[in-house]
């Protein structure tokens, strides 16, 4: 089982968390001004790299807080976690 280190609670089993998708996706300034294609691109198009990727996670069975994690999508290794609003750390 994957252990995910919550920034507030420490390492916990993956079953306590919910995946929230790609981190650092900015909400459009004026969503009403977007075309259908632009809105669909915002909603559905995300990066899908092989390697270290910044993701959003929620500790839904614990403190219920959102945070970001740097996870290697090829190995599932967590390279670091950080709170929303903190700068992204350099992957080790």
Dist CA 46 CA 22 (whole Å): 7
Scored b (16 or more CB within 10 A) or e, 32-55 reads eeeeeeeeeeeeeeeeeeeebbbb
Contact 71, 52 (CB under 8 A): yes
90 lies in some domain: no
Domain that holds residue 55: 3-27+40-83
pTM: predicted TM-score of the whole model, two decimal places: 0.88
Q: What is the pLDDT of residues 19-74, one digit of tens each?
A: 999 999 999 999 999 999 999 999 999 999 999 999 999 999 999 999 999 999 99
Q: How many domains does the chain have?
A: 1
What's the pLDDT band for 1 if we cut at 50, 70, 90? confident
Dist CA 81 CA 87 (whole Å): 10
CATH number of the structural domain spanning residue 59? 3.30.2270.10
């Amino acid at each position: 089982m994957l252990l995910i280190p919550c920034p507030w609670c420490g390492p916990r089993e993956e079953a306590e968390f919910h995946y929230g998708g790609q981190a650092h996706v900015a909400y459009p300034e004026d969503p009403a001004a977007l075309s259908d294609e632009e809105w669909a691109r915002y909603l559905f198009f995300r990066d899908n790299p092989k390697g270290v990727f910044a993701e959003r996670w929620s500790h839904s069975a614990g403190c219920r807080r959102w945070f970001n994690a740097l996870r290697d999508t090829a190995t599932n290794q967590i390279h670091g976690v950080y709170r929303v609003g903190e700068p992204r750390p350099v992957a080790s």
